[in-house]
Amino acid sequence: MKTFWTAVTGRFLVVGLLVTGSVFSQDSTSYTDTKEAKMKKSIGAKTIVFPTPVFVVGSYDKSGRPDAMVVAWGGICCSKPPCVAISIREATYTYGNIMARKAFTISIPSEKYIQEADYFGIVSGRTEDKFAATRLTPVKSDLVDAPYVKEFPFIIECSVIKIVPLGLHTLFVGEIKDVKADEAVLGKDGTPDIEKIQPMIFDPANRAYYGIGKYLGDAFSEGKKINK
């Protein structure tokens, strides 16, 4: 009933606004909700969130040749067991590689490797040896049947535990078997330091890369200032 009422008054409100401007500006909360909703501009059902990552996903093909592609559709998806999800189109060479070997790595490039990382997303491993072209070094994981990128400072080794077809993309859930990082990007306590790793951010709205910005505050801490 409330929903119906909001919908009905919402329609009148829009008409009202169109005809008489802000005549309803002193309305109650339910009116305000609908009015404010109209203030945000709809830009359609697009695949845009901020941030998205720049994951270089490593795999071996049938012949054992290392390949890698860039994936921006992905992220951590479970804490126990530790898992990361990546979504890949069936048309890619990587898709077949991961389906066959049930393993992949994620290598996170520092921003200085922007050209190499982007190259991994432009050409197909079906026709190109991307490691040779970028002169980057594939390293065979000692835990899963996939290679990672030696020059990138932070890598994750994954074993596929779930495959979820969604449409154009298939979501692969990889259980994280290990995380490895260059000593140079670890803080004093041995924890990876985002400011030293200098990962890139992908902006899907304008298809551009950004760096990491300034430190803003600590999680599970900033919120405690609310109501104080």
Q: Smallest distance from the beta carbon of 12 to its own copies, in angstroms?
A: 15
Q: Smallest distance from the beta carbon of 148 to its own copies, in angstroms?
A: 8
Output 116-123 pairs: Cβ under 8 A, ≥24 positions apart.
116/151, 117/54, 117/56, 117/70, 117/200, 117/209, 118/70, 118/209, 120/56, 120/68, 120/69, 120/70, 121/69, 121/70
Q: Which is nearer to its own copies, 96 or 158 (CB)?
A: 158
Q: Smallest distance from the beta carbon of 19 to its own copies, in angstroms?
A: 20
Give 66's strand partners.
60
Q: Smallest distance from the beta carbon of 142 to its own copies, in angstroms?
A: 6
Q: Smallest distance from the beta carbon of 203 to its own copies, in angstroms?
A: 5
Q: Smallest distance from the beta carbon of 102 to its own copies, in angstroms?
A: 16
Count of C-beta atoms within a 10 Å radius of residue 27: 16
Q: Which is nearer to its own copies, 96 or 141 (CB)?
A: 141
Q: Smallest distance from the beta carbon of 72 to its own copies, in angstroms?
A: 7
Which letter, b or e, does each residue of 72-94 get, where b requires 16 or more Cβ atoms within 10 Å of its Cβ?
A: bbbeeeeeeebbbbbbbeeebbb
Q: Which is nearer to its own copies, 96 or 156 (CB)?
A: 156
**What phi and psi, each to the nearest 5 degrees, are found at residue 138?**
-75, 135
Residues 6 or more apart in contact with residue 202 via CB below 8 angstroms: 51, 52, 53, 54, 72, 208, 209, 210
Distance, CA of 157 to CA of 126 (rounded, Å): 23
Closest CA to 146 of 53, 64, 55, 54: 64
Q: Is the bond preceding 51 in cis, omega lying within 30 degrees of 0?
A: yes
